[in-house]
Structure 1
Amino acid sequence: MFISFYNSPLGVLRIMVKESYVTEIHFCTDDELKDSMVTTGFHPLLQQCTEQLIEYFQGARRIFEFPVHQSGTPFQQSVWGELTGIPFGKTISYMNLARKLGDPKVIRAAAATNGRNKIAIVVPCHRVIGSNREMVGYAGGIWRKKWLLQHEQKIANGVQTLF
């Protein structure tokens, strides 16, 4: 396993690569930084992932082009697959996510799986919001979710200024 850290505009992201996949992109807490800010050698995917995250935050990238993998049940895999299909700059509700999975009754399970996503930003769980358009549930913190959605809206719709 290879680990590196990227100091993003939203805080430090820990990036993990195992074999030929990015397996984690995680917003670190202060305690995690104190305990584990150790990089573990070079892997080309660490560099590729970091470069693409930088481009995303600069507004130059909407789609990530490196392999990702996270372990999970077939249901979890289907939820994460649906997340990757949410277009940049768009949102869907948890109910819409459940419907896309074929059963509105799985809304709680879909929401729980969304919360277990280990590949922040790239598997865009931040694009799922409450049915009432409220910002609910984000492991990285609601303020980050709001920032990410506003960032994507600005890029997708063009930044407008008054003067």
Structure 2
Amino acid sequence: MDTYYIGYYSSPVGLIKIKATTDHIVSLDFIDNKTSEDQNHNFLITNCLNQLQEYFEGKRFQFDLPLSPSGTDFQRAVWNELINVPFGSIKTYKDIAIAINNPKAVRAVGGANNKNPIPLIIPCHRIIGSSGKLIGYGGGLWRKEWLLNHEKIKFKK
């Protein structure tokens, strides 16, 4: 059984809980309050906290962390494609469906986006509707809007 390490980061978009094994980041969650779990950092949690700080300070444009999101093969294919969407760029759900060679799976891509266990690092906030409008974000549309504004991305309101 894996040992899990927990860290918390107080960001401009709320408190973030990071969970990692010895080798991988496994989840990042927007939460209201710290849980009763002890903060027990390892090198990976410390590295993630530093990279989040650099991102929110506008000094980091790409995360460099080992990730191990838990999900179906389809979900992991979507998340792997999301990592290719660079800072300051957006794609549509349809773009992602086409990129994973499943052009009719637009709604399923949206579902996979919603189940992303490592948002921000796997940048599901950079995916918008074909109309150019913000739709869907597990952390709340206000966070998606804040993150896109932080990255100076233009979108329709």
Normalised TM-score (structure 2): 0.91
8 Å Cα contact 1:4-1:38 kept in structure 2: no
8 Å Cα contact 2:26-2:67 kept in structure 1: yes
One-letter amino acid of the counterpart of residue 125, structure 1: C
One-letter amino acid of the counterpart of residue 15, structure 2: V
Taking the aligned partners of 1:86 and 1:37, their CA distance within structure 2 comes to 35
CA shift, 1:38, in A, is: 3.2
8 Å Cα contact 1:21-1:67 kept in structure 2: yes
CA shift, 1:65, in A, is: 1.2
Show structure 1 runs of 4+ deviating over 2 A. Answer: 37-40
CA shift, 1:93, in A, is: 0.8
Matched residue count:
150
CA shift, 1:37, in A, is: 4.8
8 Å Cα contact 1:5-1:39 kept in structure 2: no
One-letter amino acid of the counterpart of residue 56, structure 1: Y
Note the aligned Cα RMSD (angstroms).
1.3
Structure 1 residue runs of 5 or longer lacking an equivalent are 155-163
> 18, 21, 24: which is aligned to 1:18?
21
Taking the aligned partners of 1:42 and 1:103, their CA distance within structure 2 comes to 39
Superposed CA deviations along residues 25-80 of structure 1, whole A, max 9, x for unmatched, are: 1111x3xx26x153332211110000000000000000111101111222111100
More helix by share: 1
Taking the aligned partners of 1:137 and 1:106, their CA distance within structure 2 comes to 16
Q: Give the match for residue 37 of structure 2.
A: 38
1:2 aligns with 2:1: no
Taking the aligned partners of 1:38 and 1:128, their CA distance within structure 2 comes to 32
Structure 2 residue runs of 5 or longer lacking an equivalent are none
CA shift, 1:22, in A, is: 0.6
8 Å Cα contact 1:79-1:113 kept in structure 2: yes
My pick for the range that moved more, 131-140 or 39-48, is 39-48
Taking the aligned partners of 1:78 and 1:64, their CA distance within structure 2 comes to 18
Aligned partner of residue 153 in structure 1, secondary structure:
coil
Normalised TM-score (structure 1): 0.88
Taking the aligned partners of 1:41 and 1:84, their CA distance within structure 2 comes to 27
Q: Give the match for residue 78 of structure 2.
A: 79
Taking the aligned partners of 1:125 and 1:109, their CA distance within structure 2 comes to 14
One-letter amino acid of the counterpart of residue 135, structure 1: L
Taking the aligned partners of 1:40 and 1:53, their CA distance within structure 2 comes to 17
